[in-house]
Structure formats: C-alpha cells, structure tokens
Amino acid sequence: MTGRKSRRTSPPRWFMPAVLTGLAAAGALLSAAMLAIAE
C-alpha cells in the first residue's frame, strides 16, 4: 500500500517534456503578443 502511494507521487516519463513544451509554446505566444503590441 505505502509503496503504491509513493510511486503515485512520481510523475510519468512524458510529464516533464510535456510541461517544457507547454512552457515553450506559452513563451512563444507571449513574445509574439508583445511584439504585436509593440508595433
């Protein structure tokens, strides 16, 4: 029981790449919006 609980806390292998990709996409969208506003 306890072993299963500790294993559940650790995220899957694809979790970090997905988060990094999402952050990169958000950053690109933010920079594009800032450039559009600056113009």
Q: Per-residue pLDDT tens for 2-35?
A: 555 566 677 788 899 999 999 999 999 999 999 9
Q: How far is CA 1 from CA 10, 13, 17, 32, in A?
A: 15, 22, 29, 48
What pLDDT shows up at residue 25?
A: 98
Residue whose entry in the numeric block shows the structure tokens 């600056």: 38
What pLDDT shows up at residue 18?
A: 94
What pLDDT shows up at residue 8?
A: 65
* Tokens of residue 33, six digits: 């919006």
* Tokens of residue 17, six digits: 């790449």
